[in-house]
A and B are shown apart, each in its own frame.
Chain A
Amino acid sequence: MANIFDILGPVMVGPSSSHTAGAVRIGLVGRQLFGQQPDKAVVYLHGSFAATGKGHGTDRALIAGLLGMRPDDLGIPDSFEIAKERGMDFVIEPRELRDAHPNTARIMMEADNGKKLEIQAYSIGGGRIRVSMLDGMDVNFSGETHTLIVRNQDQPGCITDVSTVLNLCGINIATMQVFRARRGGSAVMVVETDQVVPESAIEMLERRQGILKVTFLAAI
């Protein structure tokens, strides 16, 4: 449900809330999930993003987001040049993605230390987005609320571990989704919370058996 500042707002750099502001958010959420500015990024634009993205500055908006800019940053039109200054290499290509929403981007991020992350997200209008894929696994979240992402082995007890640790830290779970590639394989939990998840909780979780990686995305 849209609040009044979704109706009047966002304050953003034009020309399009879906193709520009939403694209900045996709890049920004990608960067936050990655935890740092990538050294190299490959971006695929699908559907309407591919067809009209250039005229809407979708390409520059995505790169601006990866650089940590927000949708109202006046540096968005110059993001390509800023990326060069900051040493971020990038490639942007149109690409037909299967079963994807018309305003979809896929971003493959890489750091020089070998760290990698791939996300896919789409823009739903009004500057709002949904992340639909994380390292090849289906997910569904917006980044508008605090979000905890837990990668784990698909085995009994992982969900209990997460809810127990959050409970110990006084954190209320707003929504929770679980996804898995196959039975007993890799799985992902997307937990939207009412409070910020502290570093200590993340460390506690990462020590639990079966939990592989924990990422916290503060509301953007």
Chain B
Amino acid sequence: MSYQSMEEAQERCKREGIEFWKAVQLEDADERDVKETDSWEQMRGMWQAMLDSIDNYDPSLMSRSGLVGKEGGLMEAYREEKDTLCGDYMAKVMANALKMGCNNACMKRIVAAPTAGACGVLPAVLVTYFREYDVPEEKMIEALYVAAGIGQIIANRAYLAGASGGCQAEIGSGSGMAAAAICHVKGGSTEQIAAACAMALKNLMGLVCDPVGGLVEVPCVKRNVGGAVNAMAAADMALAGIISQIPLDQVIDAMKEVGDRMDVSLKETGIGGVAGSLRAQEVVKKM
């Protein structure tokens, strides 16, 4: 039975003297009745797919609606030519988030994390770090276990679908997963991992799912940037020793409550939010 709460996972870590990622891996091996090494190899496959996806971005492609496609290329060119406000490293994170979002919209291969719409957040945070700092691949695969374990707890207590809980459940969860994952890579403790995730989730709580024309394009592609940047900020706060005054499990429960109260027009129906704007209606008419 997968972890129903971060508290439960943390107790196991303490009891057995293991790191959070290991607790997630042991649970996976047990639940699916596979060897730890098989689970590891499968996770390595996910990591490789993320690396490949970023590399296979093609700025000349457009989505079927023609709304998105070139944003990753524009951001990369800007970073190379100009002084960015966010600095070179964060600009790389942003470019990678956009590339993944565009890949998804253009029917290229991606890794849903936790969903296809939010597929850019985790690789933007992890792949950028991996390539910049030359850390061992093993550390990144551990980080994917951290992300998956967090995602599973969110799925067990709340939800991961925009149609169920709004974008906070997709980009929000993706951001919480990425914050926890990068916190692990940077040597954060289990408590810091939980805090990073809690802060990332709180910052995006209430985010609505309002895709123009119901398509995973606008505002989804750019929200991957928001999710990635937020994850880095939350992880840095946790690593600085800043704690989340509300424990992670209770933050997830609050997210569920907010999602339940969210009007259905704001949950992937393409009715409310920016999907309801005049411009969006013009776009839909042309499709």
Contacts and interface: CB of A to CB of B under 8 A. Distances in A.
Interface of A: 1-5, 7-18, 20-21, 48, 51-52, 54-57, 60, 72, 74, 76-77, 125-127
Contacts of A2: 2, 152, 155
Contacts of A15: 63, 104-107, 116-117, 215-217
Interface stretch (B6-14, B140-148, B254-262): B140-148
Nearest to A74: B109
- Chain B's interface size range is 35 or more
Contact of A3 (B28, B65, B114, B119): B28
Contact of B28 (A4, A10, A48, A55): A4
A61 to B, nearest CB: 9
Contacts, number: 128
Nearest to B67: A55
B148 A12 contact: no
Nearest to A5: B42
A72 B214 contact: no
A127 B116 CA distance: 10
A8 B75 CA distance: 26
Contacts of A51: 214
B63 to A, nearest CB: 7
Nearest to B48: A11
Nearest to B61: A77
27 contacts: A1-B1, A3-B31, A4-B24, A4-B145, A8-B43, A8-B112, A8-B114, A12-B112, A12-B116, A14-B104, A14-B116, A14-B119, A15-B63, A15-B106, A15-B116, A16-B116, A16-B117, A17-B112, A20-B116, A21-B112, A21-B116, A52-B214, A55-B64, A55-B213, A125-B161, A126-B160, A127-B112
A16 to B, nearest CB: 5
A56 B101 CA distance: 14
Nearest to A6: B155
Contact of B32 (A3, A11, A54): A3
Given A4-B145, A5-B46, A21-B116, A11 B111 contact: yes
B36 to A, nearest CB: 13
Interface in B126-168: 144-145, 147-149, 151-152, 155, 160-161, 163
Contacts of A1: 1-2
Contacts of B119: 14
Contacts of B148: 4-5, 7-8
Contacts of B163: 18, 125
Contact of A8 (B31, B64, B147, B287): B147
Contact of B270 (A12, A52, A77): A52
B243 interface: no
Contact of B45 (A11, A12, A126): A11
B106 to A, nearest CB: 7
Contacts of B2: 1-4
